[in-house]
Structure 1
């Protein structure tokens, strides 16, 4: 069984990932490009990051049986997989706990000024020069866009901090209860002190968060994105942050990844950035629970069974 993992990984990450797979499997980790094309011809499974899996690429993979993604699958042409008789599956919910915890870490770091205070202490500045603003979470309103596995965990975490929880979702089955209040999109963005995105990237959500939306938010509001960079018009977000249309942002995902070194986001004092690691609590580019799921799904394919969390149906 040959497994092709496509993405940008450090040597340490590669070792950690390969060590997790059965020794008898041939696991190859390469970045997008020519080397990837060399290996795709004879792999049975591909796990793609930072590469578009379209009909053209799939047609070169003559032995491919499974395209396995993490939670998101916006980079995979599911219809093309089906036409070519290739299973497509994601790992829905596997990283929900990790991402929800990351959201809470963002919120607490921002409102408790953790990054600023750490630098203050380590620079040995006189205590008389200390000045900052912050606040408690009790009574704040968080608006959650998208209410899947991650959104539900974020809601429960925030309720434990005595926050008010608003939710906007296209799932009509989700109803207001003792934890959440379901509202329309405009009410959510205008009433929330914190807006956090947990929807998938699709034509409806592409650049959902744009200039018009940021103008509707409170100028004291915090924006959080741990979902997909394409959900946000990054240029509009940068302008909103510079113009103080919103108070700040905490971002783990970006329109272009890795985030360009010259991105203006790196220079804004009201922004906290992490390098798309919210779903990888075990270390850079590694999450054991996620890879355990991948291995289980690959074994299903190896045994002629349907994969879990399948995204298509083969005849």
Structure 2
């Protein structure tokens, strides 16, 4: 496996780049580049870990040595049929970050109902406690509607049951999860205090949470999204919050990433934002379990063993 070249695309701070490089064997060549710089590195690449780049036939023509495309949990930026045609194995890491993302969802809920961000700002601004005014709630007895019952959705359900919440769910697949009541999607929207999105992005889920969905939700409902930004019609979400159709939102993902500086989401009071970090609990853009999994899968592939979480058959 000497001289193995791994190309990682995306925007990473220098501290994260060092931690990522240190996760791989020392004799592997690890190149971490911006998406627009990927073409210059692909001619000799054995493995591609793509973020913010489309993996399709156009790109694969530039990567004649490529053997594996390894993604995180999501793979909506990879045309699997093109990879199959070019003889490139595609794998994701579907279960690796389920706990991390589910914990992020719980943190969103606790911050929302316990007013953590507001109260922290109040204390640090030396506010007068006689003028303190806010409302909140306990999670116990709240109803959470989980849209998508894959590995993350199931983990969120378990955490929510531990908090004494009523857990209802919707899935297009025939999933059965202990303690989760399966409801039609419209009923879930109408009855849930919290709606948490956990579906992959594809043509059937793009903008599935739209103006029509917001009109069905409770006026104090909070929407949480840690899946993919384009599952939600962002303009409709902004309007729904401004017009008081829903209570607000907690978002880790966006239609365009990084979230543009002039996005109206940055100026809404009833929104909590994080920069697509739910799956990176160990520091900025880094998750040790994720990279341990990547190394293990690459090593299996190089030994001609079947890698985990494969998405196509070569």
**Mapped pair 1:239 → 2:239:** yes
Question: Does structure 1 residue 138 correspond to structure 2 residue 140?
Answer: yes
Unaligned runs of 5+ in 1: none
Question: Of residues 11, 14, 23 in structure 2, which corresponds to 1:8?
Answer: 11
Q: Is residue 24 from structure 1 mapped to residue 20 from structure 2 by the alignment?
A: no
* Aligned residues of 2:91 and 2:309 also touching (Cα < 8 A): yes
Secondary structure class of the residue paired with 2:105:
helix
- Which residue pairs with 1:79 in the alignment? 81
1:145-164 pair list within 5 angstroms = 145-164=147-166
Partner in structure 1 of residue 194 of structure 2: 194
The Cα of 1:89 is off from its aligned counterpart by: 0.3
Given the superposition, is the C-alpha separation of residues 185 and 303 from structure 1 closer, same or farther in structure 2, using an over 3 Å criterion? same
Partners of 2:104 and 2:247 in 1: CA distance: 20
- The alpha carbon displacement at 1:203 in A equals 1.0
- TM-score normalised by structure 2 residue count: 0.98
CA distance in 2, matches of 1:282, 1:187: 37
- In structure 1, the partner of 2:112 is 110
Root-mean-square deviation over aligned CA pairs: 0.7
The correspondence of residues 142-221 of structure 1 with structure 2, limited to 5 A, is 142-172=144-174, 174-175=175-176, 177=178, 179-221=179-221
Shift of 1:266: 0.4
Measure the CA separation in 2 of the matches of 1:147 and 1:215: 23
Distance 1:9 1:312 in 2: 28
- Name the structure 1 match of 2:263: 263
Count of residue pairs the alignment pairs up: 311
Report what 2:72 is aligned to. 70
Q: Is the 8 A contact 2:154 2:177 kept in 1?
A: no
Deviation at 1:176, TM superposition (A): 6.3
- Shift of residue 251, structure 1, vs aligned partner: 0.0
* TM-score normalised to structure 1 length: 0.98
Cα drift, residue 137 of structure 1: 1.1
Q: Point out where structure 2 has 5 or more consecutive residues left out of the alignment.
A: none
For 1:34-73, list aligned pairs within 5 A.
35-73=37-75
